[in-house]
Amino acid sequence: MRAREPDVEGYVERDGVKVRYEVHGDGTATIMFIPGWGLPGRSWKAQVAYLSRHFRVIAYDPRGTGSSDRPLGPQAYGMAEHVADALAIMDAVGAPSAVVVGKSWGGQTAVTFAADHPKRVDAVVAAAPMLPLSPWLPITSTWSSFDEPSARKRQRAALRASLTGMGEIARSKDFRNFVRSINFLEAAKRFSRQGMLDDFDGFARWFNAHVVATDPHSTKQTDDLIGWLTATGPQAAADAFMADCIRTPADARDLCGRVSCPVLVIHGDRDLTVPFEWGKRLAELTGGRLMVVPGAGHLPGGRYPVVVNLAIREFVDSLGLRDGQPARDQRGVAR
């Protein structure tokens, strides 16, 4: 049972890959929701039912997730492919532009979409955006060792990285929180292509229970996340993790410099997956707003939906899109 059934549903197909989408509501302003790594459109269920009362809402299963196709190879999951899929869905439903809302990895997709297609994006809402605007040892270490088949070698590399990262631990509150909460050796064992292939169910349980859904009383959210990621499967999840994307602070800063639309960043200050510093820097570099959710982990939209839903509604209302006014850039100039 769902809180709201879609008004329209269908597929777009690009280069033989079918991507499923849903449309909810019929407001004059359009919001497009982009999920995070390995998650389907249903991961936005806490937002869709409410916001579709006020706006037209598009939710979709990114390639590799939900009811969409699962092409093989990291090249099929690059950021350019995700942006092209989102653009094709907007064309299919007749949306000339939209407020693009992305969480985690979807936050990087949303920012890239805005930079590459400024006339199609009215504004960006980035929730805990996976956009590396400062060094972050946990993910850079994982990227570098992800395809190493030996768990022992990955763990040795993680130990070396943790020793060389002592200065970062001393400087970064985000990193201190991560080290206190996450076992580096367990992370190196599980977060790898081989670890996923060996025991993907175990990986999904560990990752979502100990890294993503860390807020108290998040049992239902954790169960949902485990089910959605498990359904994605190890091959698609691994390929998507190693696909082409923004991986360096220099490239992330360059991307932010090309964003001209209004930006709202929503970030929990107890996020163990994406450092709070990244969200703060994204807001600074784009001239956007930063909304801090005190005590929240990586997915505040799931654990604190009322707070997040009202923030998104207020932000979209402030753009004047429901009154037929033109979208404006971050300086307030009509585009």
- Whether 253 and 295 map to the same domain: the answer is yes
Last residue of a domain, one of 215, 241, 267: 241
Q: Are 68 and 20 in contact (CB under 8 A)?
A: yes
Q: For residues 57 and 156, which has the higher predicted lDDT (pLDDT)? A: 57
- Whether 93 and 232 map to the same domain: the answer is no
Q: What is the pLDDT of residues 251-309, one digit of tens each?
A: 999 999 999 999 999 999 999 999 999 999 999 999 999 999 999 999 999 999 999 99
Q: Are 146 and 241 in contact (CB under 8 A)?
A: yes
Confidence (pTM): 0.92
- Whether 100 and 168 map to the same domain: the answer is no
- Whether 253 and 126 map to the same domain: the answer is yes
**Which residue in 142, 102, 121, 45 sits closest to 279, CA to CA?**
102
DSSP, collapsed to helix, strand or coil, labels residue 306 as helix
- Whether 294 and 149 map to the same domain: the answer is no
- Whether 71 and 162 map to the same domain: the answer is no
Question: Could you give the CA distance from residue 8 to residue 331 in angstroms, rounded to a whole number?
Answer: 35
6 Cβ contact list (under 8 Å, min separation 6): 22, 23, 24
Question: Could you give the CA distance from residue 292 to residue 267 in angstroms, rounded to a whole number?
Answer: 5
- Whether 129 and 156 map to the same domain: the answer is no
Last residue of a domain, one of 241, 271, 303: 241
- Whether 97 and 112 map to the same domain: the answer is yes
- Whether 180 and 201 map to the same domain: the answer is yes
Residue 328 lies in a domain: no
- Whether 116 and 148 map to the same domain: the answer is no
The 8-class DSSP code of residue 249 comes to: H
Residue 185 lies in a domain: yes
Range of the domain at 151: 137-241
Q: What is the separation of C-alpha 217 from the centre of its chain, rounded to a whole number of angstroms? A: 22
Place of tokens 């999951």: 77
Q: For residues 156 and 332, which has the higher predicted lDDT (pLDDT)? A: 156
333 pLDDT band, cuts 50/70/90, is very low
Question: Could you give the CA distance from residue 308 to residue 300 in angstroms, rounded to a whole number?
Answer: 7
SS3 content of the chain, % helix, strand, coil (to 5): 50, 15, 35
Q: What is the pLDDT of residues 24-48, one digit of tens each?
A: 999 999 999 999 999 999 999 999 9
Last residue of a domain, one of 241, 256, 288: 241
Question: Could you give the CA distance from residue 146 to residue 190 in angstroms, rounded to a whole number?
Answer: 10
- Whether 110 and 68 map to the same domain: the answer is yes
Residue 311 lies in a domain: yes
Region 303-322 average pLDDT:
94
Residue 335 lies in a domain: no
Check which CATH number belongs to the domain holding 48 and give it: 3.40.50.1820
Residue 206 lies in a domain: yes
Q: Are 200 and 233 in contact (CB under 8 A)?
A: yes
Residue 207 lies in a domain: yes
Residue 52 lies in a domain: yes
Give me the number of domains the chain comprises: 2
Q: What is the pLDDT of residues 162-186, one digit of tens each?
A: 666 556 555 677 777 776 778 777 8
Residue 2 lies in a domain: no
- Whether 129 and 12 map to the same domain: the answer is yes
Q: What is the pLDDT of residues 78-116, one digit of tens each?
A: 999 999 999 999 999 999 999 999 999 999 999 999 999
* Model pLDDT, residue 331: 44
